[in-house]
Amino acid sequence: MTESDDILGYVVCHTCQNPKAIKQGKGKRSAFVHGRCDCGPDTRTGKAAQAEMKAFQPLETVQAQIDEMSQPEPQPESLPIQTEKQTESNPNPEPKPETQSKPMTTLACMGLGGALGVVFGGLIKAIKVVS
């Protein structure tokens, strides 16, 4: 029995855009199917992954899907350039997106944490001295 005899069918690998050969598992994994393509083996046993792999098709069909996906999409016709009169007649221009604040850097977080530690540490010391 050759390796190709075990192949049930093929699905499109969304990572490498090549056909993924689907085979039935053996032994304790006999309830699952697994795939292999240029990316390597795909032995996921989750419901979604198994449903995707169990939807295998003949190689010709999968290759046609890959060819269809690899063809460039037709470019839409260029839109006409708006003139000043057209932009002036638009009474409700789109609002500009609000700027988002930048997240704190690690160094700023460490400085803030150190400062808070000094303040609260001194406060606790003062409370212990008073009591």
pLDDT class of 51 with cuts at 50, 70, 90: very high
Q: What are the strands, taking DSSP E only, across the chain?
A: 7-12, 19-24, 33-37, 40-42
pLDDT tens column, 108-120: 888 889 999 999 9
DSSP state of 56: -
pLDDT tens column, 7-23: 999 999 988 889 999 99
Tell me the domain boundaries of the chain: 3-70
Query: What predicted TM-score, i.e. pTM, was given to this entire model?
Result: 0.51
pLDDT at 17: 87
